[in-house]
C-alpha cells in the first residue's frame, strides 16, 4: 500500500511541475525553477523504482550530476539574457535580433 502511495505522490508532483511549466511562460527564472522541480520529482520516481527492485543507486548519482549540469546551463543562459536585455521577460527577447 505504501509503495502505491509513493508512486502516486511522485506522479502527482511530476504533473504539478509540468502544469506549472506550461502555465508560467513569462519569466525565464520561473520556467527554470519549474524544470528543476520536474527533475527532482523524476529523481524521486527513479529512486523509488530502483529501490523497489533492489538495484544499485549509482544511476541516481549520474542522474543528479546531469541535472546539476542542466541547472548550471539554465542559470548561465539566464545571466547572459539579463546582461544583454536587462530583464528575463520573453516578450523583450527577439530571436531574430543579433
Q: Domains, the chain, ranges and CATH?
A: 2-85 (1.10.287.3510)
Q: What's this model's pTM, rounded to 2 decimal places?
A: 0.82
The helix (H) or strand (E) run that includes residue 6 is helix 2-23
For the segment 36-62, what is each residue's pLDDT rounded down to a tens digit?
A: 999 999 998 888 888 888 888 888 899
What is the reported pLDDT for 92? 67
The DSSP-derived string for 21-72 is HHH--SBHHHHHHHHHHHHHHHHHHHHHHHHHTT--THHHHHHHHHHHHHHH
Mean pLDDT for the chain overall: 85
| Contact criterion met (CB below 8 Å) for 36 and 89 | no
What is the reported pLDDT for 93? 63
Confidence of residue 97 (pLDDT cuts 50, 70, 90): low
The Cα 65–Cα 81 span in angstroms is: 25
Residue 83's CB is within 10 A of a number of other CB atoms, namely 8
The answer on pLDDT for 96 being more than 70 is no
C-alpha cell of 61?
A: 548519482
The Cα 81–Cα 14 span in angstroms is: 28
Amino acid at each position: 500500500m505504501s509503495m502505491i502511495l509513493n508512486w502516486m505522490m511522485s506522479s502527482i508532483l511530476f504533473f504539478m511541475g509540468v502544469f506549472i511549466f506550461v502555465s508560467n511562460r513569462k519569466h525565464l527564472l520561473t520556467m527554470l525553477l519549474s524544470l528543476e522541480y520536474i527533475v527532482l520529482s523524476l529523481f524521486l520516481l527513479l529512486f523509488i523504482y530502483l529501490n523497489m527492485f533492489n538495484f544499485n543507486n549509482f544511476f541516481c548519482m549520474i542522474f543528479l550530476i546531469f541535472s546539476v549540469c542542466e541547472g548550471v546551463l539554465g542559470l548561465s543562459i539566464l545571466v547572459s539574457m539579463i546582461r544583454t536585455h536587462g530583464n528575463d521577460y520573453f516578450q523583450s527577447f527577439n530571436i531574430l535580433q543579433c
